[in-house]
Amino acid sequence: MFGLTTRNNWNRDLFFDPFRELDEMERALRGTGRGFGGFRTDIIDDGDQYRLEADLPGFRKEDIHVDVNDGRLTISATRNNESEEKKDGYVHRERSYGSFTRSFDVSGIDEDAIKARYADGVLTLELPKKPEEKPQPKRIELV
């Protein structure tokens, strides 16, 4: 079953999510200002596909990687910023580094047809749904 859904519409009885407790802990820590530093995502059901929008402001396109392996889609982004300002004998220097990763179950998605684009700090993935496979009845011959 395809596990992409927004948190606001999460029905725990319909979906199995082995990372649910980690997500709840992350939400609790985020409220205290000690979150894990992930990035926000929205998942929209467009009927024949899902659209995933991930907020990644300040990242360069070449620092964002989207990989699909064994039914799992992983988005990772790395940021390395250094700046130095010299003025009137004063030196101001700042550095920031960060690595962010999120993974999603895409077992119900046509992995070969995924499309991605990055514009204005938002990564958008189009994730076409696989057609539903209805089990064909089998007749067992009596011997």
Residue 96 exposed, middle or buried by CB count within 10 Å (0-12, 13-18, 19+)? exposed
Mean pLDDT of 7-29: 54
Quick one: pLDDT at residue 18?
57
Domain that holds residue 12: 7-128
Quick one: pLDDT at residue 39?
85
User: Contact at 8 Å (CB) between 3 and 104?
Assistant: yes
In a domain, residue 105? The reply is yes
- Number of domains observed in the structure of the chain: 1
Structure tokens at 112: 């070969």
Q: What is the pLDDT of residues 40-93, one digit of tens each?
A: 999 999 999 999 999 998 889 999 999 999 999 999 998 877 777 877 777 777
CATH number of residue 112's parent domain: 2.60.40.790
In a domain, residue 136? The reply is no
In a domain, residue 80? The reply is yes
Structure tokens at 80: 């390395």
In a domain, residue 142? The reply is no
User: Contact at 8 Å (CB) between 45 and 126?
Assistant: no
**Average pLDDT score, the chain:** 79
In a domain, residue 135? The reply is no
In a domain, residue 33? The reply is yes
DSSP SS3 for 76: strand
pTM here? 0.62
In a domain, residue 20? The reply is yes
In a domain, residue 49? The reply is yes
Higher-pLDDT residue of 74, 6: 74
